[in-house]
């Protein structure tokens, strides 16, 4: 009985580590794409647009990590897509 409980805790720990790793990687990819594409969204001032994209990415990265890691497994993908869309809309509104 005690062995099963230890195995369950080890499995839960590995699952949490895998989830936080996946959420950090996905959030970093989204933040990186925001920074690289920000200069293309406003071609007249690419340096200023990239700096603004960096600010948005730095502000959105922790929110996306928490949104992706904190959700249940069933809704994790949907939440990440919604968070990505919100960051993209924020970029387009601010850079317009």
- Spell out the domain ranges in the chain: 2-95
Which is more confidently placed, 86 or 70? 86
Angle between helices 2-41 and 76-95 (to 10 degrees): 20
Tens digit of each residue's pLDDT (9 = 90 or more) over 51-70:
888 888 888 888 877 777 77
Which is more confidently placed, 79 or 52? 52
The three-state secondary structure class of 43 is: coil
Distance CA 39, CA 37 (A): 5
Tens digit of each residue's pLDDT (9 = 90 or more) over 22-39:
878 888 888 888 888 877
Report which secondary-structure segment, H or E, holds 96.
none
Distance CA 7, CA 14 (A): 11
pTM of the model: 0.68
Write the CB contacts of 88 (distance below 8 Å, at least 6 apart in sequence). 34
């Amino acid at each position: 009985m005690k062995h099963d409980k230890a195995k369950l805790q080890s499995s839960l720990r590995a699952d949490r580590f895998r989830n936080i790793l996946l959420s950090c990687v996905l959030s970093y990819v989204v933040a990186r794409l925001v920074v690289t594409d920000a200069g293309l969204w406003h071609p007249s001032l690419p340096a200023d647009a990239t700096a603004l994209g960096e600010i948005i990415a730095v502000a959105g990265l922790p929110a996306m990590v928490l949104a992706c890691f904190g959700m249940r497994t069933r809704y994790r993908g949907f939440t990440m897509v919604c968070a990505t869309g919100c960051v993209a809309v924020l970029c387009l509104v601010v850079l317009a």
